[in-house]
Amino acid sequence: MHPEIIDGFMTGIKQVASPYFNDRPDNQLPTLLVIHNISLPPDRYGGPHVEQLFTGQLDPNEHPYFATIAHLEVSSHFFIRRTGELIQFVSCDKRAWHAGVSSYHGRKNCNDFSIGIELEGCDTESFTDVQYQVLAKLTELLFQFYPLTDIVGHSDIAPGRKTDPGPYFDWIRYRTLINFNQEKSMLEQHLPVLQLLNDIESEMRKTSLWQTSAPEPSAFESVEPFCVDRMHAHEWLQWIFLPRMKALIDMRAELPTNFALHPYFEEAFKEQDEHNKLLELIKQLDELSQN
């Protein structure tokens, strides 16, 4: 099952309710992702103390450092442990209290419009492989569900006051991982379309619709749908549509959706039974483009 986000909560992960959140002003949607690091006690991993801090249950007597922070009302939307375990504390639709005094491109109070992700770690040690994997997956999911445009570190929005995620956070690795996964999933989405485009080409070759030389250059200047005034339907298919779709697939770009080629081709090939197979393929392509 692919994870989803429902009412701001990611499915399939551990949820721990933090009392430290409120509504986003005007219920605005988050546009910024903020990466942090945290470990409690500092530089120690694996304990329950981060969860305790974010839920107001940290015992100030358990460690001298805790006495200095136990009174803080802080939270984060997500926390990724060294083991890759992912915990959510606050709905992404709500305002978690992770950034404090902060500003981004002149906009103050980044909590209003951001999602906070804490990585279990510190400023003096590398993060784990699985943390990068989980962070990249989480990032992709959040980008699917929210109009996020930027990713920053806490130190970028609270310079001088905050240093996390610190010099050991590998931004290049993180961004490379996101791009790689995006390209891969785009290719997976495109494969059925590419298969159909190839089937259409081979069917056109079989039925001798495939041309070896292009129409006159002036035909390409048509501004009509399907270049209907200057090309035959199959010419448009071979010289305009197929190359454009393949170029988009090569670039891993978004493909056009909800197009309808079949009605036009059905009319163009009417009473030509030898093109039924081609019409069927075109219909399948139309169907694939519906979303």
Task: Pick the piece of the chain touching Zn ion (CB under 5 A) from 23-31, 72-80, 146-154, 274-282.
Answer: 146-154
Task: Pick the piece of the chain touching Zn ion (CB under 5 A) from 22-30, 31-39, 136-144, 216-224.
Answer: 31-39
Query: Considering 118, 120, 203, 235, which one is annotated as catalytic?
Result: 118
Task: Please name the amino acid found at residue 137.
Answer: K
Q: Least distance in Å: CB of 38 to Zn ion? A: 7
3-state secondary structure of 257: coil
Q: Quick one: tokens of 287? A: 């169907």
Q: What is the size of the binding site for Zn ion (CB under 5 A)?
A: 3
Site string for Zn ion, 92-131 (x = CB under 5 A): ----------------------------------------
Q: Least distance in Å: CB of 255 to Zn ion? A: 39
Looking at 164, 190, 245, 249, which residue binds Zn ion (CB under 5 A)?
164
Comparing CA positions, the residue from 236, 223, 242, 222 lying closest to residue 264 is 236
Task: Pick the piece of the chain touching Zn ion (CB under 5 A) from 66-74, 157-165, 195-203, 232-240.
Answer: 157-165
What is the Cα Rg of the chain in Å? 27
The angle at the Cα of 74, spanning 70 to 80, to the nearest 5 degrees, equals: 105
Question: Is 36 or 190 the residue whose CB approaches Zn ion more closely?
Answer: 36
Question: Is 76 or 238 the residue whose CB approaches Zn ion more closely?
Answer: 76
Q: Least distance in Å: CB of 40 to Zn ion? A: 13
Q: Least distance in Å: CB of 145 to Zn ion? A: 23
Q: Which residues of 214-238 are buried (b: 16+ CB within 10 A; e: fewer)?
A: ebeeebeebeeebbeebbbbbbbbb
Task: Pick the piece of the chain touching Zn ion (CB under 5 A) from 101-109, 151-159, 188-196, 267-275.
Answer: 151-159
Q: Least distance in Å: CB of 164 to Zn ion? A: 4
> What's 115's DSSP letter?
E
Comparing CA positions, the residue from 128, 142, 134 lying closest to residue 177 is 134
Using alpha carbons, list the distances in angstroms from residue 26 to 105, 116, 220, 289.
20, 19, 49, 35
Based on the residue annotation, tell me whether 118 is a catalytic residue of this protein. Answer: yes
Question: Is 158 or 231 the residue whose CB approaches Zn ion more closely?
Answer: 158
d(CA 75, CA 89): 7
Q: Quick one: tokens of 79? A: 């926390």
Looking at 10, 18, 36, 119, which residue binds Zn ion (CB under 5 A)?
36
Q: Least distance in Å: CB of 10 to Zn ion? A: 20
Check binding of 154 to Zn ion (CB under 5 A): yes
CB 117 within 8 A of CB 127: no
Task: Provide CB contacts within 8 A for 242, sequence distance 6+.
Answer: 197, 200, 201
Residues that bind Zn ion (CB under 5 A): 36, 154, 164
Residues noted as catalytic: 118
